[in-house]
Chains A and B, each alone.
With several copies, the nearest count.
Chain A
Amino acid sequence: MRAMLLIRAVEKAWGDAYLTEEITGIPPSLSTGQEAIAAGACAALGDGDFIFTTHRGQAAQVARGLDPKRILAELYCRRTGYNKGKSYHVTDMTRGVVGMGGIVPAQVPIAGGMALAQKMRGTDRVSLAFFGDGASNEGAVHEAAALAAMWTLPLILLCENNRYCITQRDTDALKGPSIAARAAGYGLPGVVVDGTDPLAVQAAVAEAVARARAGGGATFIEAQCERLTGHLIHDTQPYRSREELESAWKHCPILLFGERLERERILSADERARMNREIEAEVAGAVAHARTQPYPAIHEAYEDLWA
């Protein structure tokens, strides 16, 4: 729960910074509605594992325990951000988080390569690639899935089906029974899971992790959810009806999980509110931190290209 609330708070801070023109550039892409996937998936991973994120990657970065201060510093283009202001695809190799997403879904074959490295080096680490429903139609996913099957790689292909590829509805672009149904064609296990339920996602990923660690190879998971906000922050989703959006919001994972925790008397509404206040304070602190951080110096434009 905490992870999901923190994700939403960090993203809100980023979105606000853009809307108030504190930061400029490419508009933020929020994962509102998808928080349970990142939270569930990261909860199933161990310390040495790797994740490869998308253009909508903040949820996973936060869920993997990265420091909101340094995430926001990056999004504020500061030199103390994780990537020194070089890109907003936040990366922290010490936590196995590789930020990608400029090219959809180039991270998937690379995650396969990381899995290959782990296998060849004899570790039991797994590599998990996030990608979207739209991305699933790209050849890169196909090739990476086939290779993972062929080489029995410890890879998890985690498709976040948030129903949209920008303005294109998944049902317009995908005519099979599900995206995970494609897994069978590669000889991989394919699983569809409720992406609004962090525990369901965690369970599915945990099973995939266990399979991978045991040398059983890759798993293709499709976590279905709803994209509640626009593709980018300035997208007001005119291509979706009011009814569609209203019903989508009923699938808000924070809402659903909050209700459930209340129902199951694990976390009361009050406790949740308190948790949220703490988180908001933490994020406000992170924003304040980011704002005071220095911008990169000009000469840094020429650094970090060559090893």
Chain B
Amino acid sequence: MFDNRLFRPGGPVKPEEKDWPSFRGAINEAMREEMRRDPLVFQMGEDIALASPFGVTTGLAKEFGRERIRDAPCAEVAVVGAAVGAAMGGMRPIVEFQFGDFMSVAIDQLTHQAAMLRYLTGGQVSVPLVIRLPCGGGQGAGSQHSQSLYSWFAHVPGIKVLLPSTSMDAKAMMKAAIRDNNPVLFFEHKQLYRTRWPVPAEFRDADHVAELGKAAVRRAGVDITVVATLTMVHHALAAAEALAAEGVSVEVIDPRTLVPFDVDTLVASVRKTGRLLVVDEAYLNFGIQAEVIATVAERAFEALKAAPRRLGNPNVPVPFAPCLQDEVLPGRARIEAAIRQMMSR
């Protein structure tokens, strides 16, 4: 069950949070710095200039003008296509979708064009573009506005898939995405937008860019490895705290990128703990959770002390009514229960 109270998407900022950058502010800052640095970077998206749907592009049109912050029509095939073509023409486009679910209407331009054109042309073109996809449930936005569909895009060749979970990562990974010469999908969990996080000093360093393909060990532990992404990282950390009191030492791994995927950090962790739980909001069947388990089963089989487990959406659409919605999303309580059960064997 999804615990909405874990983050306060609204409400007043607590005193200690005052100097912490918000998640959406971090993305905004990354884009601002990169647009200052490189005149070829520009953005397209519905309403991004006048009334940014989740406030991520707020203020950018004022600084960079309506040519570089382009309000796009409701025509996602044309817009993603425009990004692909513009990228081939030397520009570095960033595209915002209001809800990542809407990518469903423009997948061909992404997977068969953006992702394949370099290969098909024998390396003659490159397609540096970033698509920002707000994702995830918990806002009562209904089945077609609550999904986490990265399993699709991580499956096909040629697309980098990024899942930031903190303000620091949001900023550094966005900068890396913009500087990358390949198509990059940047998934932004809507529940994270208004959260605030303490950051290290390099957050303020305009040259600090994330290295893509490095998982983060969010918490070290020796009894069980929990792999979690986006908001689930924080649910997992909360569960880990609770279990620490019971004497269970949980290691929490945040892969941060699905493509490229950091197999080494994952395998090293499971070699240490011998147990694996994977938690994600994605639909459970044929989802990214399976890939993590399969990777460990292949690469660290001998280290496994017990059957690995996974949590996710049990393959129903995310329903509208909050009580039903919360039922189908994983969260802290389910993570705790799963860990307890796995430790008791």
Contact = CB atoms under 8 A, between A and B. Distances in A.
Contact of A296 (B143, B182, B317, B323): B323
A268 interface: no
Nearest to A174: B73
Contacts of B268: none
The listed residue with most B CB atoms (<10 A of its CB), out of A83, A99, A139, A239, is A83
Interface stretch (A3-11, A164-172, A269-277): A164-172
B323 A298 contact: yes
Contacts, number: 254
Contact of B324 (A103, A147, A298): A298
A91 B121 contact: yes
Interface of A: 24-26, 50, 77-78, 81-89, 91-93, 98-100, 102-104, 106, 108-118, 120-121, 127, 134-135, 137-140, 143-144, 146-147, 150-151, 165-168, 172-173, 235, 238-239, 295-296, 298, 300-307
Nearest to B4: A24
B77 to A, nearest CB: 5
Contact of B78 (A91, A117, A146, A238): A146
14 contacts: A25-B142, A83-B124, A83-B320, A88-B142, A91-B120, A93-B124, A103-B104, A117-B85, A120-B86, A121-B91, A138-B74, A147-B75, A298-B323, A305-B119
A77 B8 CA distance: 22
B63 to A, nearest CB: 17
Nearest to B113: A106
Interface in B162-211: 181-182
Nearest to A77: B321
Given A86-B324, A106-B112, A121-B91, A304 B75 contact: no
B85 A127 contact: yes
Given A146-B78, A235-B51, A113 B88 contact: yes
Nearest to B98: A166
Contacts of A298: 323-324, 327
A151 B78 CA distance: 12
B158 interface: yes
A77 B323 contact: yes
Interface in B120-147: 120-128, 139-145
Nearest to A168: B71
A140 B77 CA distance: 6
Contacts of B123: 84, 303-304
Given A305-B118, A306-B158, A110 B88 contact: yes
A223 to B, nearest CB: 18
A306 B73 contact: no
B253 interface: no
Contacts of A103: 101-102, 104-105, 108, 112-113, 144
Contacts of A168: 46-47, 71, 73-74
Contact of A116 (B85, B118, B181): B85
Contacts of B141: 25-26
Given A138-B75, A139-B77, A24 B46 contact: no
Contacts of B139: 25-26
A106 B108 contact: yes
A147 B84 CA distance: 14
Given A110-B84, A134-B73, A140-B78, A87 B118 contact: no
A113 B319 contact: no
Contacts of B316: 301-302, 305
Given A85-B321, A87-B319, A102 B112 contact: yes
Contacts of A302: 314, 316
A167 B51 contact: yes
A87 B142 contact: yes
Nearest to A166: B47
A113 B129 CA distance: 12
A93 B121 contact: yes
By Cβ-Cβ distance, the 9 closest A-B pairs, closest first, are: A113-B85, A109-B81, A25-B140, A117-B89, A102-B144, A84-B122, A143-B78, A85-B321, A307-B181
A103 B102 CA distance: 7
Interface in B5-53: 42, 46-47, 49-51
Contacts of B317: 86, 305
Given A86-B324, A168-B73, A307 B124 contact: no
A120 B76 CA distance: 20
A26 B90 contact: no
Nearest to B49: A167
Contacts of B320: 25, 77, 83, 85-88
Contacts of A151: 70
A77 B322 CA distance: 8
B319 A307 contact: no
Interface string B58-69: 000000000100
Given A25-B141, A117-B89, A305-B317, A89 B77 contact: no
A31 B285 CA distance: 39
Interface string B82-121: 1111111111010000000110110011001100011111
B157 interface: yes
A291 to B, nearest CB: 14
B74, B88, B142 — which one has the most chain A CB atoms within 10 A of its CB?
A: B74
A117 B140 CA distance: 34
B140 A24 contact: yes
A146 B113 contact: no
B120 A109 contact: no
A252 to B, nearest CB: 23
Contacts of A84: 122-123
B176 to A, nearest CB: 14
B80 interface: yes
B73 A144 contact: no
A49 to B, nearest CB: 12
Contact of B89 (A91, A118, A239, A304): A118
B288 interface: no
A239 B51 contact: yes
